[in-house]
Amino acid sequence: MLFLAATLLVPAARAEDVTSNSNWLFEATNQLGSWIWDAHTFDKQTCQFWRKFEIPRRVKVSSALLRITVDNGYSLFLDGQAVGRGSDWRTVTEYDVTKLLTPGEHVLAVEGFNDRLEAGLIFGFQIQLADKSLVEIISDTNWLVVPDTAQNIHWRARKTALSDWHPAIAIGHMHYHPWENWPYGLTIEPPSLPVIVYFWQTGWFQITLILLCVVALGFSVWLLTQLAAQAKAQRFLQVERVRIARDIHDDLGAQLTQLVLLGEVAQREQPVESTSRTQFNQICTLGRELSQSMDEVVWAINSRRDTLHDFVNYVCKYAQIFLNATPIRCRLDVEPEIPPDAFDLPVRRNLFLAVKEALNNAAKYSQATELFLRIHRHNQKLIVIVEDAGRGFDPAQAGAERNGLHNMAQRMTEIGGTCAVASQPGAGCRVTFTVPLNPPVHRVWFWRRRPTPLDIEIPDSNSTKTHLP
């Protein structure tokens, strides 16, 4: 608190002249009570005084002037709020607390300190109300002395007295021994202003904040539990995928190979022109195709192959083996040093099947002699291009029988990618697959985003083939 005080002081009067003091002394000591203290007085003593009073309801306070002094010093509190302190007990200090008072119950608290010898508190409080009535409080035996115990730690703002609080003792009157020459002046403090309590200092806000913190902590614990369970399930899934891939390869693969070998033996035992030999030949061919398809399934579900580097190697190897049986020459344009970054099963599986469909279409319809397979990264995306220099076609005239085009687009839609087909009659065909290397997470705790439908990009008749950026 900032103290800007105006002090009226005069020389001390003699004891026999006290009763004839001038107006300044009357003003300084008017409406004050008796000197009060505890039943026992000793040096270096702190005495705690408490007094409750009430202002009538629905009545505004016009003025409230409080005067106090304590031999030797004091700290003054109103409703637990510090109003002022002083150590010059030879003068009375006046406080204007008008703005601190509202109708209802209030509490005065004083901590008095005695340095040595006699001790006392003298006090006067005049509250002028708007209805011209007056509330007066003076230092008398209505004040209670609060013992310095643990249960009285919040005594300054307490509205009810405890059983161990006892009345103060009146130990003298104004201008009688040993205070016959004092107080002899008046110190006026500036008006006290109410304490501004901001919303973040209020109890409801702090309780709400604590509850929010508890809720956030509980949610964090729950989320960590969910993440731990999900991580455990993911590890279990990877182990199961490895086991399933191994079982398929070692068990079904071996049996399928044995079946093909038995078919080939039976084929050789049949006459060259017999119908049975032709049927055995078809069985062996279907068995080999089934074995190749099974190898693709084993590669797809094996968690040890969930890397970008492995995907690129497998696709390139597949394209070369697939086109070896055709008149189409396969040329590879692959970015060097593809990193072994994670490449999730849904992405690599759908992308592989889409590329496989593009290769199959080129082998069946393009009549090309050369095909380029280009694989590059650009802006956190993987771009795979299947381009041939065959006869091409008009995508706008492609009939409903071209299910492969729709399937490729649908597969890219499922993994957040795109499929673009650029072709013209006599100008070859270029199929561009683009997938994000870090696909966005579509599932959250309370909302699931539905994928946006993607269509095949069909250029107009005047468009030309585009090239990889």
pLDDT at 469: 31
Domain spanning 6-196, CATH class = mainly beta
CB atoms within 10 A of CB 358: 28
pLDDT at 151: 83
- Token pair in block for residue 229: 């369970």
pLDDT at 13: 37
Q: How far apart are CA 341 and CA 348, in angstroms?
A: 12
Q: How far apart are CA 59 and CA 444, in angstroms?
A: 59
pLDDT at 250: 65
**Taking the complete model, does pTM exceed 0.75, yes or no?**
no
Domain extent listing, the chain: 6-196, 225-301, 306-469
* Contact (CB, 8 A) for 92 and 85: no
pLDDT at 233: 82
pLDDT at 23: 52
Residue with tokens 């509190």, as numbered in its chain: 77
Residues of the chain with pLDDT under 50: 1-22, 24, 26, 442-469
| Phi and psi torsions of 85, nearest 5° | -150, 160
pLDDT at 163: 92
CA dihedral 128, 130, 132, 137 (to 10 degrees): -30
DSSP string, 77-89: EETTEEEEEE--T
| Range 306-469 has CATH code 2.40.128.20 | no
pLDDT at 112: 96
Same fold, 6-196 and 306-469: no
CA dihedral 6, 8, 12, 18 (to 10 degrees): -130
In the structure, how many helices (H) and strands (E) does the chain have? 7, 19
Q: How far apart are CA 9 and CA 21, in angstroms?
A: 13
Contacts of 388 (CB under 8 A, 6+ apart): 328, 362, 366, 368, 370, 371, 372, 428, 429
